[in-house]
Amino acid sequence: MRFLPPEPEVTLYKTAFDNDILGREKAGSSLSALLDRIEDPLVIALDGRWGTGKTYFLKRWVGAHREQNKGRALTLYFDAFANDYLSDPLVALVSALADRVPAQDEPKLTRLKSTASKFVKPLAKIALNIATFGAKEALNDLGDAAAEAIHAEAERVVDDFWDRAEGRQQAMQSFRDALSELVDGKGDAEPTPLIIVIDELDRCRPDYALEVLEVIKHFFAVPMVHFVLGVNLSALENSVRARYGNDIDAAAYLQKFISLTFTLPDRAGGRHQDIPAVLAYAKHTAAAMKLPKEYVSEIVERQLPGVMRRNLISIRDIGKILAAVSILPPEALNPRLFPGWRAITASMIIARIIRSDIFKKMVVADLTDEELVTYLDATPEKINRKLPDDEHNQDYDHPTWYMYRSWQVILSDGKAEFEDVREIKNQFSQFGDFIQAKDCPRRIFDDYLNTFETV
């Protein structure tokens, strides 16, 4: 048994959507088709909450664009969060291109770096000058470049063009011209579009995140150069407010920078399945972690489908839930454990990850019926086997009925009365006399869940 969900190996620009358990390949193909045929510069935001698989998608898409989708564009993956310690995003972006630009285009890249150096702050300019040499140069050459750049900065800390708007505009246009030359083809050759994927933008410092957007808008807005941003737009709006105050219309502000938005499909479709992507991930990952089949069945097949109807559950949440199962003590994993106790244990594990407020009330058996109905989506349409006219209810969901009735018995300390109440009590004790039912969640917490907690 494993504690952590296995992380599949990804080789940037090579790994594509093979073994596409999340159903993301079709979305990747659509993105490739759009960006390859549009000449105007596009900034597309892949919007999603944290933990919804944006990075999983983007790291594979930069490989799939050419490997699977036969795209023409050169792709660059840039982790903004890993680079926000740098003072100038223009430096980071231009330097990152060095590893992706083909050798025959090195002169064009050098010109691009040269024009960029006119626009960055003195310390950042030193970094860019050093980066111009590239990682393959000898160390003494690199040191010479640094010394020369530092000496030049000591003589002239601020270039004259900072004081002249005309100079700034000319330098910016020179950068865009150099970028256009980089993507243009030679002679009759087709141009090679450039697509820069910027991931984790919403996790950056607010000032850095917004500077990235401004650099994109003012420096990279040339034909055949596109950006795909992996971002939680709600979080990015908070960055806008942090910089400009709460009175600003943050959504309208971001519209100045972003051309289109899209979200990842929430279902893993295919010829043999059409289920929520998080459930597809849960099934695949639970098998890879070699978790006990009793808990896999209880959580993945019985409880999650119902809880998901009213609660947001991310792929990251699934990983935490499965990790929590892996650290259960042996007595909780005993196949002979009464099914009711296993079901309540699983229910508390799920709630602990996705609804801590509900979990705390579960532990002390102090949930109201309204809270229980809302959390489990235990509406009459889901828990009644028959319609008022005695016809069979096609929307009846037995796992939801089972969990709702089990918690009803617990919350009433075994005094709940409803049809088939004996069926529920038999799941907790051998003779169906579920005594001190209200103590069940506390005993589960103390015996199974109180030693370790996933974070």
CA dihedral 23, 27, 33, 38 (to 10 degrees): -170
Pairwise pLDDT comparison (84 vs 150), residue with the higher score:
84
Helix (H, G, I), strand (E, B) or coil at 32: helix
Per-residue pLDDT of 345-377, as tens digits, reads 999 999 999 999 999 999 999 999 999 999 999
Helix (H) or strand (E) holding 128: helix 122-133
Non-local CB neighbours of 152 within 8 Å, separated by 6+ positions: none
Query: How many domains does the chain contain in total?
Result: 2
Same domain, 382 and 304: yes
Which of 239, 262, 285 lies at the terminal end of a domain, its last residue? 262
User: Across all residues in the chain, what is the average pLDDT?
Assistant: 85
Same domain, 351 and 217: no
Same domain, 314 and 225: no
Domain range for 330: 275-449
**Residue 281 is assigned to a structural domain of this protein:** yes
Pairing, β 267-268 against β 275-276 = antiparallel
DSSP 320-374: HHHHHHHTS-HHHH-TTS-HHHHHHHHHHHHHHHH-HHHHHHHHTT---HHHHHH
pLDDT of 150 strictly over 70: no
Same domain, 227 and 319: no
pLDDT for res 154: 40
Same domain, 254 and 350: no
pLDDT of 421 strictly over 80: yes
pTM (two decimals): 0.81
pLDDT for res 152: 53
pLDDT of 215 strictly over 70: yes
Residue 427 CA from chain centroid, whole number: 38
Per-residue pLDDT of 3-19, as tens digits, reads 667 777 889 999 999 88
pLDDT for res 303: 97
Pairwise pLDDT comparison (127 vs 67), residue with the higher score:
67
Same domain, 308 and 222: no
> Mean pLDDT lowest for which of 143-147, 163-167, 210-214, 315-319?
143-147
pLDDT for res 169: 75
CATH number at residue 200: 3.40.50
pLDDT for res 127: 42
pLDDT of 451 strictly over 90: no
Percent of the chain's residues with pLDDT above 70: 85
The Cα–Cα gap between 96 and 449 comes to 46
